[in-house]
Amino acid sequence: MAIHLNISSIIRSALVISLALRMRSFYTLALLAVLLLPAVFGCRQDRFTPNADIALRFEADSVLFDTVLVTAGSITKRLKVFNPTNTNVLIDEVYLSGKRLTGQSAYRININGVPSNDLQGVELRANDSLYLFIEVTIDPTSTNTPFLVTDSIIFRSGTKTGKVQLAAYGQNAVFYNGEVLPCNTIWTADRPIVIYNSILVDSLCNLTIEAGTRIYFNKNSTIFTLGSLQVNGTPENPVIFRGDRLDPFYRDLAGAWNGLHFLIGSTNNHISNAELHNGNIAIRVDSLPVSGTAPNLVLDKVLIDNFAIVGLLGFTAHIQATNLLISNCGLYNFLGDLGGSYVFRHATFANIGSGFSRSFPLFVLSNRNNNGLPNAANLILQNSIVYGTREVEFVLDTSGTGGFNAQLSHTILRTNRTQLPGTALQFVNPRFKSPEDKNFSIDTLSPAYQAGLNVIGKFPVLTHDLFGQPRSIMPTLGAIERIE
């Protein structure tokens, strides 16, 4: 035991004892003597033993990072280090092996609040623990495929050495930061595209995205289109749009990026075989007013999931969609406002188990006046499913003074207005297989099975479903065909 004298405590104690003596109180003096002994004589074991030959224990023997985009940096991961003995230890060395050997490392460590890649004399009390925080930033290389980047953290206590392996896959990428794209830009699947601070496809210009391309967006980033966007995925190699946080905790959170925004005047946009995940508004079409007969946007085999605000938003837009699945959005899966023309064939709009606290129907079309001016609304909804957890999920708002024309046929709707005009409408549960796992195909007892109208002859794009499966001549309702 080490005995330590606290001078300031001794001085205070002497003053109190002197006061007690003047009070001539034997009992007071005795009590003070008992109470003040710990203040005068402290007994603490706070020596830390160097070269202790103690085998430290680690929370894990390796720290693995998911794919990290080059230059972007990773999340911070945590590692806990334990002293399993009754001895206070002075860990002789904690260091990054690669940094010490070569002078370079993609990794950085912070040891109990001290940012250092090489630290000596790290205190660790008996039966206690400390934290290491680890990050990695990977430099670009010439390869297109993911590549492994490794290092290790070494802990030395006397003759005992412990090691924790570090590993991450780096992915080279093409970066854009707040810029106007050159006209007729083509993105290929060779390397992912990473967007910071949004980009613009200018008027009279095209952006073409080829099959298998992955586009990652930093927070609040958008592709704005004044010209035209052509997305040419395939069922085997869809084009993927999502946020740039790829680690498990963040990659499935809504609101990670903004979305695709088609500005007023943009036409001839086509998105085929694409997936959009976890943003704010997946696709927004501003087309005030609709001009000509050609749609502003054509969608085929497009999956939109987990957007914080809206999946598909149109303002007096002209949108045609086939084999479309929009699931689990915070406010609306589809909102068409201020009129417009919308055609949906073999579409599924579903919101089940999304985790959002919703106050609005998932499908709304309105012909509301725009600054007092009327706008007609036109809707074709065929061979489709609109279903969610609210009692009313399908709303047609005819409050504007413009016309309203809705052609509904062979569709399942969740609504309390079961007298809607249309053909072969059903107001039942479509019996999705596993919506909690985002599987919106139907089960064996679904009323959607073989309930559709055969329109393949008129629309050859419908010969296959969302995932490229052949569609029956007695088709399943919705975007996904049931294959027996």
Tell me how many domains the chain contains. Answer: 3
- Do 241 and 334 fall within a single domain? yes
What's the rounded Cα separation, in Å, for the pair 218 and 181?
17
Structure confidence by residue, pLDDT tens digits, 147-202: 999 999 999 999 999 999 999 999 999 999 999 999 999 999 999 999 999 999 99
Within 10 Å of residue 18's Cβ, how many Cβ atoms? 10
Whether 254 has a pLDDT exceeding 80, the answer reads: yes
Question: Do 64 and 136 contact (CB within 8 A), yes or no?
Answer: no
Q: Is 477 a domain residue?
A: no
Over residues 75-89, the mean pLDDT reads 95
Under the banding of pLDDT at 50, 70 and 90, the label for residue 252 is confident
151 and 214 inside one domain: no
Verify that 79 and 22 share a domain, yes or no: no
Mean pLDDT of 244-263: 90
Tell me, yes or no, whether 164 and 176 share the same domain.
no
Is residue 6, in this structure, part of any structural domain at all? yes
Q: Where among 148, 170, 192 does a domain terminate?
A: 170
pLDDT value of residue 291: 64
Whether 478 is covered by a domain: the verdict is no
425 forms beta bridges with 411
Looking at the structure, tell me whether residues 152 and 176 fall in a common domain. no
Q: How confident is the model at residue 290 (pLDDT cuts 50, 70, 90)?
A: low
pLDDT > 50? residue 25: no
Asked if residues 299 and 324 have their Cβ atoms less than 8 Å apart, the reply is: yes
Q: Which pLDDT score is estimated for 246?
A: 85
Q: What is the pLDDT of residues 84-136, one digit of tens each?
A: 999 999 999 999 999 999 999 999 999 989 999 999 999 999 999 999 999 99
- Rounded to two decimals, the pTM is 0.85
* Containing structural domain, residue 67: 57-170
Are 131 and 191 in the same domain?
no
Q: Is a pLDDT exceeding 50 seen at residue 401? A: yes
Residue 474 in domain: no
User: Taking a C-beta distance cutoff of 8 angstroms, is the pair 319, 335 a contact?
Assistant: no
List the CATH number of the domain containing 133: 2.60.40.2310
Phi, psi of 197 (to 5 degrees): 60, 25
362 and 295 in a common domain: yes
- Give the mean pLDDT of the chain: 90
291 versus 368: the higher-pLDDT residue is 368
Is residue 270, in this structure, part of any structural domain at all? yes
Among 112, 136, 170, the domain-final residue is: 170
The yes-or-no verdict on residue 328 having pLDDT over 50 is yes
What band does 42 get if pLDDT is binned at 50, 70 and 90?
very low
Q: How confident is the model at residue 288 (pLDDT cuts 50, 70, 90)?
A: confident
pLDDT confidence band for 484 (50 / 70 / 90): confident
The model's pLDDT over 312-324, given as tens digits with 9 standing for 90+, comes to 999 999 999 999 9
Single out the residue in 138, 170, 202 at which a domain terminates.
Answer: 170
State yes or no: pLDDT of 2 exceeds 90: no
Provide the pLDDT confidence category of residue 420 given band limits of 50, 70 and 90. Answer: confident
Residues 6+ positions from 13 with CB-CB distance below 8 Å: 36, 39, 40
The two structure tokens encoding residue 477: 């309702």
Residue 20 pLDDT:
46
Q: For the beta carbon of residue 429, count every other beta carbon within 10 angstroms.
A: 13
Q: Is the pLDDT at 435 greater than 70, yes or no?
A: yes
**CA gap 461, 322 in Å, rounded:** 8
> Does residue 8 belong to any structural domain of this protein?
yes
pLDDT at position 3 is 38
| Lowest pLDDT segment from 290-294, 383-387, 451-455 | 290-294
Average pLDDT over residues 467-480: 97
In this predicted structure, the answer to whether residue 14 has a pLDDT above a threshold of 60 is: no
Cα 470 to Cα 84, 86, 463: the distances in Å are: 62, 69, 6
The reply to whether 160 and 305 lie within a common domain is no
Same domain, yes or no: 401 and 453: yes
Question: Distances from the Cα of 438 to the Cαs of 250, 474, 480, in angstroms?
Answer: 18, 25, 12
Whether residue 181 sits in one domain with residue 163:
no
Instruction: 125-128: list long-range contacts, CB under 8 Å, 24+ apart.
Output: 125/83, 125/88, 125/89, 126/45, 126/83, 126/85, 126/86, 126/87, 126/88, 126/89, 127/83, 127/84, 127/85, 127/86, 128/82, 128/83
Residue 450 placed within a domain: yes
The reply to whether 356 and 420 lie within a common domain is: yes
pLDDT value of position 76? 93
The predicted-structure confidence for 357-382, as pLDDT tens digits, reads as follows 889 999 999 999 998 899 999 999 99
Same-domain check for residues 363 and 313: yes
Percent above pLDDT 90 for the chain: 79
- Is the residue at 51 inside a domain? no
Rounded CA-CA distance 149/105 in Å is 9
| CB neighbourhood size of 136 (10 A) | 22
